Structure 1
Amino acid sequence: MPKLDQKLTLTILTIAVATFSISSYANDKIGTEQCYGIVKAGKNDCKTGMHSCAGQSIKDGEGFINVPKGLCERLVGGSLKPKINS
């Protein structure tokens, strides 16, 4: 393999590893809490009483979104516990 191809391959591999590492760090849930009651319809991170998948809420305030710890209860409508569906 020519030197230029080796350098290009190494550069691409390095960028790929760095990108994976950054995205893994960004997805780390340490320092966050699940905040119910504030998320817009279809923007939830996961689960409601009706489903268990992200982005499937059909009305505002249904489901949760991850926010930094300590922020949820300071937000209007924010709760650390889900609403009980009747």
Structure 2
Amino acid sequence: MKSKKAFFAASLALSLSALAAGAHADDQKPTEKCFGVALAGQNDCSAGAGTSCAATSKVDYQGNAWIIVDKGTCTQIKTPKGFGSLQELP
């Protein structure tokens, strides 16, 4: 189980670092908000009540915390709580 979490965390970190690398605006792929896939403290922004912005989610896979992912990939990200969502989760 720990290796699955480590794999997910590593792939998430790699995805985020690829986005952060920053290409020219013309070269960037379309992105979307993906809810329920961020690890605690690793959300991008606006994680709902009790949080203010980036890195404020309290638990792993918090339903109202989101990260930016490549368009079309969110609902393919599997977590222990299910798949990522394009809408806020309860």
Shared fold (TM-score, shorter chain, > 0.5): yes
Percent identity of equivalent pairs: 39
Structure 2, unmatched stretches of 5+, are 1-20
1:47-66 correspondence to structure 2 within 5 Å? 47-50=46-49, 51-62=51-62, 63-66=65-68
What is the rounded CA distance, in whole Å, between the counterparts of 2:66 and 2:24 in structure 1? 21
Structure 1 residue 74, shift from structure 2 partner? 1.1
Structure 1 residue 25, shift from structure 2 partner? 3.5
Structure 1 residue 59, shift from structure 2 partner? 0.4
What is the rounded CA distance, in whole Å, between the counterparts of 2:22 and 2:71 in structure 1? 20
The TM-score with structure 2 as length reference comes to: 0.58
Secondary structure of 1:73's aligned partner:
helix
Aligned-residue RMSD, C-alpha: 2.5
Structure 1 residue 75, shift from structure 2 partner? 1.4
**Higher CA-based Rg:** 1
